[in-house]
Structure 1
């Protein structure tokens, strides 16, 4: 699908171009097999990786002008978001060199790392990025990786008998795998003001950032038994999209209308970030690359005035069922089977159809818990988005040092006001926090 990941990193001080190039030249990145190979076709037309010599200078694009845009009133954040939105539809990665590049936007103190998704998934790439960074409070230490991620709960063993749980696993897996197959064939969401579809990945884009505090999400999580940050995030998405649809098409939508999101889940044994050395060691079993399954996560439209915490409770109930199923591993095995026996073209077509028949993409990658530096320069934010998906709205959240930024990429002819949508998400969390605080005090 030629999907490209765009990671925007902002720093506090002016970017030293030579220092950044030196850091990259000495990093594991240029030595990694995927980052030092190009994709070629053999005599039978099959694509293969071929090792090449990496010229770091060829992978750097330096923008030295004072502004990306002609309007000096536009903030650095908005200017970089506009730049990323343009890149996502107008500038593919060159196939004549390894599929990654750095854009240094010197006037805005931003570095944009662009990578083809074939180089790795979010867990792999974030783990590699952190291997090149250092903790701000101790430059001799690398950022924390082990222990970052959602831990599985053992309460299930105490509440349900093993037989009951096994029956639920079988039932939910059967139901969700059948639904997955139907999505591939013909089943699709009803059209709304935020629907995309085949070809929408080529439409012009806009980008906005929704900003959250992890502590606010934890406040909400505490008042809902056994809830996780992902439950809260999906509650925010559900509430925020309902609010936005109320603004765009009031009285036009049926209460309880289903909107389906496509979410990717890590299938490695360790949840969350991985130790980079273990990713590169085939004997460890963590495995570099793309090792994720797809979940279809439905949300339901509800008119304004609802208790905001109800969105989280409904999301938790749905996600708990998904966790009991084997939908993620099954989707990975099915995709791997199709790829192995029928080739990447058919696998790509099936994947594309699933996305065309759903409404949005959502991902959440856990970043470092502490402040970090790269090449001695303090990093103030890390944001990620991706291109080439046939959704009118894609959302990618990355947490960093107590904050979480969600990049919202939209097809601007369908969703012309992504900042309004971002505010709907932010307001949803604030209302949830207020309701949770009231419950905690009572």
Structure 2
């Protein structure tokens, strides 16, 4: 079945023989770093496959990357426009709900089985599974799987959200909070310049350079020998090849906003604080924490080195409107993989005051904001790719991820409820797999919800639901303390 989008993207495939595959995209096809993006969309109604297909033709399929496959031309692998058979990309399994005892587990098993087989490289590297089965959080589920070489999580999720419309207004794009970190840094420097003069601004720049140097040295040491402490969350070499399991938990965005306000912090600060608290609870529950350590030992927890690799979007513009324009007309929005890595140390400890986790998280993130680590790691990765090739670059990044413990990411979603081609959305839970770590956690905001999405290696973390419970309980404890705080202060 040929779609109108195929012809609209053919210009890139004719004169120049297709768009060359970028070095970073080639990296995601290396044998030990073959990465995929998985996005689970829960809907409040049964899904109509024909309506979804028509919607895809009018939106996502107008993006050239979704109607191109990989072809080797002139010694280079290129994205080349092709005629797409949409039916081969939309999978609608026959499901007899009456025979399924636990629908949530059925969906989890289905998604897990998807990770066992690679996508057909002779076709555009994406597929959408539509499951008409009622779960605890939705009446039907869509599972969108794409190869990471098609773009980074930020661009792909932005494209997905740009394909939705407000439930209250079917013609209006969703409203998504804008990132302000870079602008805040510029304002801080400008304020110091105005208040204290050029010397203070110079000091600000020198500290920025020093922080960047220290962060890059830690990156190099991690490549060479610096490893995280071995815990029950850490995967062994080869973990990237294991089947993954996806679970999620939905919590209240209002609780997170309450903590943000009370702690004078950001949503990122709160999410990192909750994560540190949840992981501390989880590790403290294990029979052993590290080598020969007794259960419940606070001193042992504090000695744990546990870091997360965090992917940072380096695009100056990432608005939903810009991404939507990309599907309708020629856009200047940069597509592909434009991400840098930072390594974020976690503070693992039991705290008398649960809010201390947020204070520590805020201090850590504020320090990382005043560094060019993400930009530098991206530049270094491009340099290594151009000088030494994909194998060396994949080895370096794999070493960094293998020597750290987990991947942590957060992406803001629509602030109001949206519809996916006429289907009201209950939740969005994205994640990735194919990298050498046993635990990936992604936070996705949506309307008045925050979706905590975990991707785990079940041979390493057999009880991901307990970890979800730890997230929920940590947030509850922090919320309860924050709600009591104004009363105590008044007394």
Is residue 74 of structure 1 aligned with residue 102 of structure 2?
yes
Contact 2:62 2:328 in 1 (8 A): no
Give, in angstroms, the shift of residue 75 of structure 1. 3.6
Correspondence for 1:163: 202
* Cα distance in 2 for residues equivalent to 1:339 and 1:279: 28
Distance 1:272 1:297, change over 3 A: farther
Paired residues of 2:173 and 2:321 also in contact (CA < 8 A)? no
| Distance in 2 separating the partners of 1:17 and 1:328 | 40
Q: Secondary structure at the match of 2:92?
A: strand
- Where 1:63 maps in the other structure, the secondary structure is coil
| Number of the residue aligned with 1:41 | 72
Alignment correspondent of 1:435: 481
Q: Secondary structure at the match of 1:333?
A: helix
Deviation of 1:17 (Å): 1.3
Q: Is the 8 A contact 2:240 2:437 kept in 1?
A: yes
Q: Which digits, 9 at most, give the CA deviation of each residue in 1:309-356, with x for residues without a partner? A: 111111111111110000000011111112223222222221111111
CA distance in 1, matches of 2:397, 2:321: 26
Tell whether the 8 Å contact from 2:36 to 2:434 is kept in structure 1 after alignment.
yes
Q: Assess if the C-alpha contact under 8 Å between 2:251 and 2:472 holds in 1.
A: yes
Confirm or deny that 1:131 pairs with 2:178: no
- Which stretch shifts more, 401-410 or 245-254? 245-254
Distance 2:148 2:175 in 1: 24
| Structure-2 separation of matches of 1:137 and 1:278 | 21
Partner of 1:112: 143
Partner residue of 1:57 out of 87, 91, 94: 87
Q: Is 1:19 equivalent to 2:51 in the alignment?
A: yes
Mean CA deviation greater in 422-431 or 195-204: 195-204
In 2, Cα distance between the equivalents of 1:389 and 1:333? 20
Say if 1:211 and 1:355 are closer, same or farther in 2 by CA, change over 3 A: same
Q: 2:246 aligns to what SS in structure 1?
A: strand
Are 1:298 and 2:345 counterparts?
Answer: yes
1:385 aligns with 2:431: yes
The CA deviation at 1:85 is 2.2
- For the 8 Å contact 1:150–1:272, the answer to whether it is kept is no
Secondary structure in 1 matching 2:306: strand
Give the drift of 1:264: 0.6
Q: Is 2:357 aligned against 1:311?
A: yes
Residue number among 263, 283, 286 corresponding to 1:245 in the alignment = 283
Distance 1:11 1:287, change over 3 A: same
Tell me by how many angstroms 1:194 deviates. 1.0
How far residue 251 of structure 1 moved from its aligned partner, in angstroms, is 4.3
> Would you say the 8 A contact 1:21–1:56 is kept in 2?
yes
Measure the CA separation in 1 of the matches of 2:180 and 2:103: 35
Q: Output aligned runs, 1:20-419, within 5 Å.
A: 20-27=52-59, 29-42=60-73, 44=75, 46-67=76-97, 72-76=100-104, 78-88=105-115, 90-108=116-134, 109-145=140-176, 147-151=177-181, 152-153=183-184, 154-155=187-188, 157-158=190-191, 161-225=200-264, 227-248=265-286, 249=288, 250-251=295-296, 253-270=300-317, 275-277=322-324, 286-303=333-350, 305-419=351-465
Q: Deviations over 1:390-426 (max 9, x none)?
A: 1111111211111111111111111110000011011
Shift, 1:127, TM fit: 2.1
1:235 and 1:269, CA in 2 relative to 1: closer, same or farther beyond 3 A? same
SS at match of 2:302: coil
Query: SS of 2:123's equivalent?
Result: coil
Q: In the TM superposition, what is the alpha-carbon distance from 1:101 to its structure 2 partner?
A: 0.5
Q: How many residue pairs are counted as aligned between the two chains?
A: 433
Relative to structure 1, the CA distance from residue 369 to residue 31 in structure 2 (aligned partners, 3 Å threshold; closer, same or farther) is same
Could you tell me which runs of 5 or more consecutive residues in structure 1 were left unpaired when the two chains were aligned: none
Cα distance, 1:389–1:136 mapped onto 2, change above 3 Å: same
CA offsets, 1:279-326, max 9 Å, x none?
Answer: 6799976411111111100102213x4311111111111111110000
